[in-house]
Amino acid sequence: LDFGERKGQAERMLGLMDVFLKNDPISLQKDILHHVEYTVARSRFSFDDFEAYQALAHSVRDRLIERWHDTLIHFKKEDPKRVYFLSLEFLMGRSLSNIVINLGIRDQFADALSQLGFDFEVLAEQEGDACLGNGGLARLSACQMDSLATLDYPAVGYGLRYQYGLFRQVIVDGFQHEQPDYWLNFGNPWEIERVHITYPVKFYGTVTDEFLNGEKCKVWVPGEMVEAVAYDNPIPGYGTRNTINLRLWAAKPSDQHDMESFNTGDYVDAVVNRQRAESISSILYPDDRSYQGKELRLKQQYFFVSASVQDIFRRFKDTHKKFDEFPEKVALQLNDTHPSLAIAEVMRVLLDEEHLSWHRAWDIICKIFSFTTHTVSPEGLEKIPVDLLGNLLPRHLQIIYDINFNFVEELKKMIGLDYDRLTRMSIVEEGAVKNIRMANLSVICSHTVNGVSRLHSELLRTKLFKDFYDLWPHKFQYKTNGVTQRRWIVVSNPSLCALISKWLGTEAWIRDIDLLIGLRDYATNAELHQEWKMVKKVNKIRLAEYIEAMSGLKVSLDAMFDVQTKRIHEYKRQLLNILGIIHRYDCIKNMDKNDRKNVVPRVCIIGGKAAPGYEIAKKIIKLCHVVAERINNDNDIGDLLKLVFIPDYNVSVAEMVIPGADLSQHLSTAGHEASGTGSMKFLMNGCLLLATADGSTIEMVEEIGQDNMFLFGAKAHEVVALRKKGPTLKVPLQFSRVVRMIRDGHFGFEDYFKSLCDKIEGTSDYFLLGADFMSYLEAQAAADKAFVDEERWTKMSILSAAGSGRFSSDRTIQEYAENTWDIQPCRCPF
């Protein structure tokens, strides 16, 4: 059809459709029933909760798509500079509640459902979590997408659509077992498969020199080709029509490439071989720290980078001819080094496909990339063996070598022949195995390098990237992480949400978090105290019921709910917590009846996954279980102390645990947690923090004051000195005593725990559990003391929530937009 005919058709079609779907109770009920019958294909007289959830989700999805279309059209028309957020991990959790709340139609749907005889909350529980990430880094991406949409920024998220999310943790006899999370089994109503948005992604092969129009150029003849298919996940903002796109790529066999194998070989074998392509996007690597140098992981990285870069170029070329305009339209954000092959890929496209000169291409690179690192230690930096990279991506290796050559030449001019420094700063690490240092590549090629908290940034400038900081101080910034209050208060703690809105007299804080500070005015108001305590109680009941359903353990609501939930790591020191619990148990056992009256009852809750290959972390989980077994079955102790391990900690479990916590623990050895974001979620929910001065907690102290937190332990600069003391370091008797209890088999499995005990005694206590133990116990005692004084505790709780505004991802994203990406909001008209 020509344009005129097409326009006529479009107008006729529009006339056939309602302008927008309606949200009155009858329309919503009709829609849900329609989806029961035609989408879920169940009779409208007989469908269960899961089927009702599916129909509900599809009705919500329809409304989501309307806004998403409008937003994409609006962006296209306005053509603003966009930020492309590249991350290998997005931990979205459930979507339903988040989406209806952001669309502002939760209550309408709840009403419609109740008229159909269903409960919204019950149906929301039917949804499984999308766990396409490991921990903090991945949830941060999800929170930031929510803020990008809410603040109307023209952003696109890019990632991988793993078929298997993070493993499910099952506990058998106290040991962690991993089970596959084949999360797509029940369908995923939140994604839109775009069968026509596909790009070829090439691997292996050789590079040859050829002449094009008399100019020498490189031609990459790949050895394998797979297809990347787009799956779009609309992300709605709150209080805006803007709904942005999270585009996840799935690998499919390519039709173009294997004609030959079909012509020559065995047909069945050839088909089976094709299926291997899909393995690229099949599994999320479950280790959130160590890099194994595995080919499949490298393939994943390049696969998603290549598809995303092609997509970005296609969008740019739709409306622009000159590449000099590229930096005016494109900002590329690297979420850690995992997507940093994008640098070499953009360079390759500009040089080999768009035939720009090196000079022009490099000039563009230097203007478009920004890099955020989440790492603290040099061992945490990603390296890729040169052999591996050269084999899989021969042309990219050449480009990286060329970038490095130019960089080192420039560097020599600036710093002279300081070989030690040149060696440290080179992208290529020499040695028995030659490696590409992805962090150096990212720092060299990015205009901005961000840390995730102030302390982290300081460590980057003075340690990890000192050489680079001395060279380019202007590149280094930091954006303290934040989390979205939409998910972590509005969705997960509706009663607190209502309470805050009531006392602030407005819901505006949901978009404008700075208003939260207004709660300070009522920190001693008796009426608010009453209501605040009620809300906590409601959430504790919910958590207690969950604990009982899961483990059969009944816990007292009068006890302090003390929570430490996060990935299990030595540096996060769950072991310190468990040792503290053993100490508490030991003390109670040795008390007479009278003294026991003064003990503050506690329910200690620990949860988190250990990477499957991380032996010590798995032993910590087992230790937690044997200690729990002992304590919980000791009738002499009763409600004074309980210990619970919550299995399979994920986003939806967090949504239930966090609002129910009185106290939360963040125990990382100072200088080891880049930021920490769990603490922010607890803080927003009025949960008191017991923490070391590490990562973002330092900034929390500034917001809510030292009096409202239980701080303990060595400071980051002291840690270094303490380690140097090594063997001469004195550890307290109490510490030796609890470790001895484990060694002596008080909890059984003494042989199994020997290596764990060895790791924290003598010279090998790298994370300084012994050195911090007394200070930890003191902080715990202070928490007990505060808890008994209900009024004081409630005031501290209110002040925690009131002071949490700085830790909203809205603030983080605004800072990124203004100081790193240089992008403006682009608001879609209602």
Task: Just list the catalytic residues.
Answer: 374, 566-567, 572, 677, 681
Task: Choose between 289 and 715: whose C-beta lies nearer to ligand B1H.
Answer: 289
Q: Please, what is the minimum distance in Å from the beta carbon of residue 169 to ligand B1H?
A: 17
Q: How many CA atoms lie within 13 A of 553 on its CB side?
A: 25
Task: Choose between 561 and 821: whose C-beta lies nearer to ligand B1H.
Answer: 821
- Written as one letter, the residue type at 474 is H
Q: Please, what is the minimum distance in Å from the beta carbon of residue 338 to ligand B1H?
A: 6
SS3 of 374-391: the string is CCCCHHHCCEEEHHHHHH
- Written as one letter, the residue type at 608 is G
Binding site for ligand B1H (CB under 6 A): 134, 136-137, 140, 285, 288-289, 374-375, 452, 481, 673-677, 695
Task: Choose between 186 and 766: whose C-beta lies nearer to ligand B1H.
Answer: 766
Task: Choose between 363 and 815: whose C-beta lies nearer to ligand B1H.
Answer: 815
In 3D space, the residue among 370, 563, 546, 549 whose CA is nearest the CA of residue 448 turns out to be 370
688-699: b or e for each residue (b if 16 or more CB lie within 10 Å)? bbbbbbbbbbbb
Q: Alpha-carbon torsion 478, 480, 485, 488, what sign? A: positive
Q: How many CA atoms lie within 13 A of 485 on its CB side?
A: 31
Q: Please, what is the minimum distance in Å from the beta carbon of residue 453 to ligand B1H?
A: 8
**Contacts by 542-550 with C-beta closer than 8 Å and gap 24+?**
542/656, 542/659, 542/660, 543/656, 543/657, 543/659, 543/660, 543/661, 544/660, 546/656, 547/603, 547/605, 547/644, 547/646, 550/646, 550/647
Q: How far from chain centre, in Å, is Cα 811?
A: 17
Sheet architecture: strand order including 383-385: 383-385, 435-437, 428-429
In 3D space, the residue among 60, 288, 304, 67 whose CA is nearest the CA of residue 201 turns out to be 304
Answer left, alpha or beta for residue 228, where phi above 0 means left and psi between -120 and 50 means alpha.
beta
Task: Choose between 426 and 453: whose C-beta lies nearer to ligand B1H.
Answer: 453
Task: Choose between 374 and 475: whose C-beta lies nearer to ligand B1H.
Answer: 374
Q: Please, what is the minimum distance in Å from the beta carbon of residue 771 to ligand B1H?
A: 21
Q: Please, what is the minimum distance in Å from the beta carbon of residue 830 to ligand B1H?
A: 34
Task: Choose between 150 and 677: whose C-beta lies nearer to ligand B1H.
Answer: 677
Cα–Cα distance between 52 and 70 in angstroms, integer?
A: 28
In 3D space, the residue among 781, 756, 562, 772 whose CA is nearest the CA of residue 669 turns out to be 772
**Coil, helix or strand for 606?**
strand
Cα–Cα distance between 537 and 531 in angstroms, integer?
A: 10
Task: Choose between 166 and 640: whose C-beta lies nearer to ligand B1H.
Answer: 166
- Written as one letter, the residue type at 655 is E
**Coil, helix or strand for 304?**
helix
